[in-house]
Amino acid sequence: MKVEEKDKILDIRDLDVSFKTSAGTVHALRGVNIDLYRGETVAIVGESGSGKSVTMKAAMGLLSSNATVNGGKILFKYKDENGNMTEVDILEKDTKWIRKNINGRHMAMVFQDPMTSLDPTMTIGMQIIETIRQYKDVSMKEARSMAVELLREVGITEPEKRLPCYPHQFSGGMRQRVAIAIALSCDPDLLICDEPTTALDVTIQAKFLELILRLQKERGISVIYITHDLGVVAKVADYVNVMYAGKIVEVGNVDEIFYEPAHPYTWGLLSAMPDLDTDDSRLYSIPGSPPNLLHEVKGDAFAARNKYALVADFIECPPMFKISETHSAATWLLDPRAPKVEMPEELKKRIKRMKDGVKNDD
Amino acid sequence: MVKYILKRVGIAVLTLLIITFLLFVLVRIMPGNPFPSERMTDEAIAAKREEMGLNDPILVQFWAYMKNVLRGDFGKGTSLYNGAPIKTVLNKAMSNSFKIGGMAILLGTVVGLLLGIVAALNRDKFWDVFCSVFSILGVCVPAYVFLIFLQYTFAFKINLLPYFFDSTAFLESSVIPAISMSLFTMSTVARFTRNEMVEVIDSDYVLLAESKGMYGWQLVNRHILRNALIPVVTVLAPLIVDLLTGALVVEKIYGIQGIGKLMVDSISGEGIDYNYVLALAILYSALYIGIMLVLDIVYGLLDPRIRVSKKGGE
């Protein structure tokens, strides 16, 4: 792998964020590392509350006012107005600077629920046009025709007629297409999709993912997917970050995560995927629930739910153990001193089935 | 939109008609006598009743009354002001109440909105706390308490403003009642605006707008205000009517010849003045329904979800 030669556009290092709430301080991110290279797709997978969205909101400068960044770096590389490559640490800039220079220029985001993410009292045309005019000095008329073009690009028929419509006149799938059009209107280098298909019909989900894949290829955008749907991950991602309790516990390319998972939490996630071919009629779920981040976590946060947990897991937080150039996982099981532990038999069978399935498809 | 307005107007007219009829019947079955009975003999009362047509069937009476009302004639008082035409008395009272009420509305809404907006934009900071304390006070303490307090401080202690209402010094003497009447509206509007704004600020579409690079006043102006103020319009209607029709106690204490005072007089005088009670009750209803109608239309203009039907999308 010639990782070093690729152009890294987003580099999140040891990001540590906590929130002040009425119940106390919630330590939401406990040192997150994410790499993203130009043109590639990274998925962040994890349960609700694992910190997926917070990480991306931090990158967008959208953290709510009760959030405190305790440390870390979010390095973002982009071409500035003069065409020079610039690298900034988002965390060092103030909100105004980020809004002016990063949001709507180089980074855009698509939110989970298209029913609530569009302004209900503004026409969809205006919502696209204002984004275009935000960073491009064009007349209303030019912006209008650009908006029409964008709507056509995301697959909305008769775009001229749709401009004066309001969001409530559109279906969920169409609204999500509009949201993409808004995100694309600034021609971003990085598109963050926060569970973009969760609120959509299953039949539309696939179409939607294909749309993003196509746009990504055409425009050379890097995409980050935040999702808990491993089906989406398998379909679109190049790299996968598995997140648990505010930490990345396993990172690797798609094949490594799906075929050679190393962290017991990833085993659990893969086992919990519904599957038609299984002999077992029970639906597997990971026992217990994620730790309450109001209290500091000692050792491996997953230890209490992990039947393979070692004594060390309860005492000290495991470091990332490197498995291959692209694959690493944070579990003491990978320590040379650890006893040899295999993934569960049922999961092995399932992975074999997945591999066979892929071969058959080819 | 035209259909929407026509429908609203139709409903408003029908409602007013039904209310007028109910009021008409209710006033007539109310115990008591419409005339100053102590000053009149039984024969005189009977003659007066016959003259006014009070012995006719109720529908006949209503028909006759409605014919006059539609011509703008509310008849004469049966016991008040020696039977002066209601129209003249009412005009004077309305002018006083509406002017002072109008000032209170303007003051209450503008200051209330500003306070609410400032509070929402400074959530959990000084202005937000100030706004909630102020709102609780304003809603809980009745207007006449403020009135007495202002009277005591600015009229009695430092002698800056008149102690009672004086129509020759209208402006000076309406400051105290207007301020004390506006506080309830101010507090309600401030609290409501603040809560709506906070909700909109936390919404996904504002997050999206921020992710598009909007910030500061641009964000507030384009995406927050409009969405937050639409619901505020709806709470304004009853507040406005309350203020226009005059606070009964405030008018009584401050000696304002307004609608509120007229209402009290027409019921608690020597006799229950049928025509005054009826005229005032119709005025109250008409105002209420009229303002609701106007706000419904404004609401429709502001909110595309009401104005624009589903067709056009898929």
B32 is a domain residue: no
| Arithmetic mean of pLDDT, B215-229 | 89
Say if B298 is an interface residue toward chain A (CB within 8 Å): no
Q: Can you give the pLDDT at residue A3?
A: 45
pLDDT in tens, B2-24: 787 888 899 999 999 999 999 88
Q: If you measure CA to CA, which chain B residue comes closest to A130? A: B212
Most confident of A50-64, B41-55, B254-268: A50-64
B283 is a domain residue: no
Average confidence score pLDDT of chain B: 84
B74 is a domain residue: no
Short-list B188, B190, B179, B126, CA closest to B153: B179
| Residues 6 or more apart in contact with residue A223 via CB below 8 angstroms | A40, A41, A42, A190, A191, A192, A193, A212, A216, A236
Q: Can you give the pLDDT at residue A5?
A: 59
Of B123, B227, B312, the CB nearest to A165: B312
Higher pLDDT, B18 or B88: B18
Inter-chain touch B213–A182, beta carbons under 8 Å: no
- Alpha-carbon span A163 to B239, nearest angstrom: 38
Q: Can you give the pLDDT at residue A293?
A: 82
Q: Can you give the pLDDT at residue A47?
A: 85
B80 is a domain residue: no
3 state SS of A153: helix
- Alpha-carbon span B194 to B135, nearest angstrom: 11
Of A117, A118, A120, the CB nearest to B305: A120
- Alpha-carbon span A129 to A146, nearest angstrom: 8
**Any idea how long chain A is?**
362
The bridge status of strand A247-253 relative to strand A190-194 is: unpaired
The CA angle B132-B134-B137, to the nearest 5 degrees, is: 110
**H/E segment holding residue B235:** helix B225-244
Helices assigned H by DSSP within B161-211: 170-201, 204-211
Q: How many CB pairs under 8 A join A and B?
A: 102
Higher pLDDT, B138 or B265: B138
Short-list A317, A311, A321, A312, CA closest to A297: A317
Higher pLDDT, B32 or B276: B276
The bridge status of strand A239-244 relative to strand A85-89 is: unpaired
- Alpha-carbon span B222 to A85, nearest angstrom: 33
Containing structural domain, residue B261: 96-268
What percentage of chain B has pLDDT greater than the value 90? 24
- Alpha-carbon span B124 to B114, nearest angstrom: 17
Structural domain total, chain B: 1
Say if A96 is an interface residue toward chain B (CB within 8 Å): yes
**CATH number, domain with residue B122:** 1.10.3720.10
B26 is a domain residue: no
Q: If you measure CA to CA, which chain B residue comes closest to A184? A: B212
B34 is a domain residue: no
- Alpha-carbon span B62 to A100, nearest angstrom: 69
C-beta of residue A17 within 8 angstroms of C-beta of residue A214? no
Short-list B192, B293, B291, CA closest to B244: B291
Most confident of A77-86, A331-340, B134-143, B164-173: B134-143
What does each C-alpha distance from A265 to A271, B91, B124, B293 come to in angstroms? 10, 80, 39, 60
Inter-chain touch A103–B210, beta carbons under 8 Å: yes
The two three-digit tokens of residue B109, written as one number: 């809404």
pTM score of the predicted model? 0.79
Asked whether the predicted pLDDT for residue B255 surpasses 70, the reply is yes
| Arithmetic mean of pLDDT, B120-146 | 91
- The 10 Å Cβ neighbour count of residue A245 is 23
Inter-chain touch B210–A182, beta carbons under 8 Å: no
| Arithmetic mean of pLDDT, B58-71 | 85
* Residue numbers in B near A19 (CB within 8 A): none
Q: Can you give the pLDDT at residue B310?
A: 55
Q: Can you give the pLDDT at residue B314?
A: 35
The bridge status of strand A41-45 relative to strand A239-244 is: parallel
Per-residue confidence band for B38, with pLDDT thresholds at 50, 70 and 90: low
Say if A12 is an interface residue toward chain B (CB within 8 Å): no
B38 is a domain residue: no
B294 is a domain residue: no
Q: In what order do the strands lie in the sheet with A222-227?
A: A107-110, A190-194, A222-227, A41-45, A239-244, A247-253, A328-329, A321-322
Torsion of CA B308, B311, B313, B314, to 10 degrees: 150
Q: Which domains does chain A have, with CATH numbers?
A: 248-361 (3.40.50.300)
pLDDT in tens, A32-80: 999 999 889 999 998 888 888 899 999 998 888 888 999 899 999 988 7
Q: Can you give the pLDDT at residue B312?
A: 43
Helices assigned H by DSSP within A122-229: 124-135, 140-153, 159-162, 172-184, 202-219
Residues (pLDDT < 50) of chain A are 1-4
Asked whether the predicted pLDDT for residue B37 surpasses 70, the reply is no
